[in-house]
């Protein structure tokens, strides 16, 4: 099941919340800041341990931590690409970010996951193309693996929300 929601991802009741993190894993603004604020110290503590082990997180990859004070069980931190005009493999990297999160979700046996609109904030990925990649990556992945996972796309602005509504209707979701 794929659904779109308008609001704050830290308030969504799911097993796993995805964070649009940065390579350092040390927190930042936007949704990253919101998740760390709401989730508390336990999340950053685990991020620091991961950094010590593997030196952060590469673009398109993902790591998992506790969700701290959030109602979710896990936060899956992924790093989307910075938009640099479309000539630096941004589309593939964004797809990889979604796929890496789904891989971790399956590994952890989660039943529901909420994604923010990765890379569409300060990373400036065009919203329409980002939504297209997000939706098709998730649909193709769930079909290929034949798993049932509740996926929520959580939009924090009207533009993303209406794009997701339209694209999901177009694909019959
Ligand atoms: P990125 O660096 O990947 O662009 P941002 O956090 O700047 O990450 O933005 C990603 C998306 O997350 C944007 O569409 C932004 O509006 C959205 N966002 C910001 N805060 C929240 C929140 N609390 N819940 C859900 N989405 C959020």
Q: What pLDDT, on the 0 to 100 scale, is given for residue 28?
A: 92
Q: What pLDDT, on the 0 to 100 scale, is given for residue 15?
A: 98
Domain ranges across the chain: 2-170
Is 15 assigned a catalytic role?
no
Q: What pLDDT, on the 0 to 100 scale, is given for residue 81?
A: 98
CATH architecture of 2-170: 3-Layer(aba) Sandwich (3.40)
Mean pLDDT score, 41-50: 98
pLDDT tens digits for range 84-127: 999 999 999 999 999 999 999 999 999 999 999 999 999 999 99
Bridge-based pairing state of the strands 150-155 and 112-115: parallel
Atom of ligand 1 nearest to the CA of 79: 3
Ligand 1 lining (C-beta closer than 6 Å): 8-10, 20, 30-32, 34, 80, 116-123, 154, 156-157, 160
Cβ within 8 Å of residue 125, ≥6 positions away: 80, 81, 83, 90, 94, 118, 119
Q: What pLDDT, on the 0 to 100 scale, is given for residue 173?
A: 84
Q: Among 20, 21, 38, which residue has the most ligand 1 atoms within 8 Å of its CB, making it the best to mutate?
A: 20
Mean pLDDT score, 6-31: 97
Mean pLDDT score, 62-90: 98
Report pTM: 0.98
Mean pLDDT score, 7-33: 97
Q: What pLDDT, on the 0 to 100 scale, is given for residue 49?
A: 98
Mean pLDDT score, 119-145: 98
Mean pLDDT score, 47-68: 98
- How many whole angstroms separate alpha carbon 20 and alpha carbon 129? 17
Mean pLDDT of the chain: 97
Asked if 92 contacts 124 with a C-beta cutoff of 8 angstroms, the reply is no
List the residue whose alpha carbon is closest to atom 13 of ligand 1: 121
Asked if 65 contacts 5 with a C-beta cutoff of 8 angstroms, the reply is no
């Amino acid at each position: 099941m794929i659904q779109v929601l308008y609001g704050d991802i830290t308030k969504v009741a799911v097993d796993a919340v995805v964070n649009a993190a940065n390579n350092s894993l040390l927190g930042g603004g936007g949704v990253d800041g919101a998740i760390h604020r709401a989730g508390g110290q336990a999340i950053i503590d685990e991020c620091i341990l991961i950094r010590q082990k593997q030196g952060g997180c590469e673009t398109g990859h993902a790591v998992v931590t506790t969700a701290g004070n959030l109602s979710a069980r896990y936060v899956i931190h992924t790093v989307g690409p910075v938009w640099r005009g479309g000539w630096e493999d941004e589309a593939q990297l964004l797809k990889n970010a979604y796929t890496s999160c789904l891989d971790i979700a399956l590994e952890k046996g989660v039943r529901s996951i909420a994604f923010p609109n990765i890379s569409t904030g300060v990373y400036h990925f065009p919203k329409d193309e980002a939504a297209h990649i997000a939706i098709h990556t998730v649909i193709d992945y769930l079909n290929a693996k034949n798993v049932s996972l509740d996926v929520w796309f959580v939009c924090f602005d009207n533009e993303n929300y209406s794009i997701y509504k339209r694209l999901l209707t177009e694909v019959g979701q």
